Structure 1
Amino acid sequence: MASIDKQFAEAAQNWDLETLYTDLASAKGKRLTPTEKLHLRGLLCGYSPGEIAEKLGKNPKGVETDLCATIYRYVKSLVDRCDRRIENWRNISEWLEIDGYRCRSSPQVPLDSLLTEKSVVNVTNINIENNQLVIAFNLRIPTLKSEGISVENFGLSDDMIPKDIARDLSEKY
């Protein structure tokens, strides 16, 4: 069983598999089988049902049939799209990403390696919104330009940094 968990293991780098397995088990009514998990990981890695079958040495029609009878149904139920037709196997990962199961990529530069005694944290606001504690803060980490650190290294998406700030950062560094 350990070897089956290693197949398509790269899915764990980009997806919250444990939460996804748990939530899909709720949609199914019982735990996912090792084969269902394996096929799901293959889809999340971007492999088509035919490619999954090829990598596993299985019949492509059999894998497609299994996916239709299991994972596709569970995902449709989980993301509340039971009335939608799956036009393409890629719909599965798209819908799961929309529903928040995809993890943000981790920074290429570990943040804790940058923090020093000269780092400064200023809390600018604390409030409660929609039953969540929201803390806004500024973090200042002294660096040298020659260290090769850039905003891109931290995997921040465009919507996380206002355009004017991103422009200023790229001009400085």
Structure 2
Amino acid sequence: MASSNEPFMQAENHWDLETLYSDFSSVKNKRLTPVEKRHLRGLLCGFSPAEIAEKLGRNGKGVETTDLCATVYRYVKSLLDKSDEKLENWRNISEWLDDAGYKNQSIKVPSLDLSPDKAVVNVTNINIENNQIVFLISMKIPTFQDLDSLEDELNNLDNHKSN
């Protein structure tokens, strides 16, 4: 992955950038340039072309027409078989990619209750072996309160990925 001082790297928190880069490279028939990656990440972070240009110290019209229209927009349309569709707004890019499943899916998982009255830790044996103290520990941690809800969430995630 790119270095941490690269602009718009927060996109990797919500998007499958490696797959996107790979799929875009297939459409382009060669790897994406660092500039193309930056512009794509900027769009995925919700920045307009003008905001991307400002953050990169570039001319807004140049980023919009030369960089985005000629590259990223074209790659997305080709990748998603939307070549005949008109790009109404730069926001369509992230919407289309989200609909295509490139956005990381997350589910809310209830936290475990590790309070002393719920979790049980038993030390079952203590030995000295080869100049080491060895503890045999048994732990019991309560499972989720509502396993059916968790299972439904996981099934919904699987269904979304397969669509």
Q: Does 1:117 align with 2:140?
A: yes
Q: Aligned pair count?
A: 127
Counterpart for residue 70 of structure 1: 71
Counterpart for residue 144 of structure 2: 141
Question: 2:110, 2:144 within 8 Å by CA — same for their partners in 1?
Answer: no
Q: Equivalent residues in 2 for 1:1-150 (5 A)? A: 6-65=6-65, 66-105=67-106, 107=108, 117-119=140-142, 140-141=143-144
**Cα displacement string for residues 18-40 of structure 1 (whole angstroms, at most 9, x for unaligned residues):** 00000010011110000000000
State the Cα distance separating 1:6 from its structure 2 match: 2.4
State the Cα distance separating 1:104 from its structure 2 match: 1.8
Question: Unaligned stretches of 5+ in structure 1?
Answer: 120-139, 144-150, 161-173
Letter in 1 for 2:89: N
Superposition TM-score, scaled by structure 2 size:
0.67
Structure 2 CA distance for partners of 1:22 and 1:5, relative to 1, 3 Å: farther
Counterpart for residue 124 of structure 2: none
State the Cα distance separating 1:87 from its structure 2 match: 0.7
**Cα displacement string for residues 62-84 of structure 1 (whole angstroms, at most 9, x for unaligned residues):** 10021000000000000110000
d(CA) in 2 for partners of 1:9, 1:59: 21
Letter in 1 for 2:30: K
State the Cα distance separating 1:42 from its structure 2 match: 0.1
Question: 1:118, 1:142 within 8 Å by CA — same for their partners in 2?
Answer: no
Q: Give me the CA root mean square deviation.
A: 3.2
Indicate the structure (1 or 2) with the bigger Cα radius of gyration.
2
d(CA) in 2 for partners of 1:39, 1:109: 36
**Cα displacement string for residues 130-171 of structure 1 (whole angstroms, at most 9, x for unaligned residues):** xxxxxxxxxx4269xxxxxxx8xxxx69x67xxxxxxxxxxx
d(CA) in 1 for partners of 2:98, 2:21: 14
Question: Unaligned stretches of 5+ in structure 2?
Answer: 120-138, 158-163
Over the matched positions of the two proteins, sequence identity in percent amounts to 58
d(CA) in 2 for partners of 1:69, 1:33: 13
d(CA) in 2 for partners of 1:73, 1:32: 13
Letter in 2 for 1:99: A
d(CA) in 1 for partners of 2:110, 2:141: 18
Question: 1:118, 1:141 within 8 Å by CA — same for their partners in 2?
Answer: no
Question: 1:8, 1:42 within 8 Å by CA — same for their partners in 2?
Answer: yes
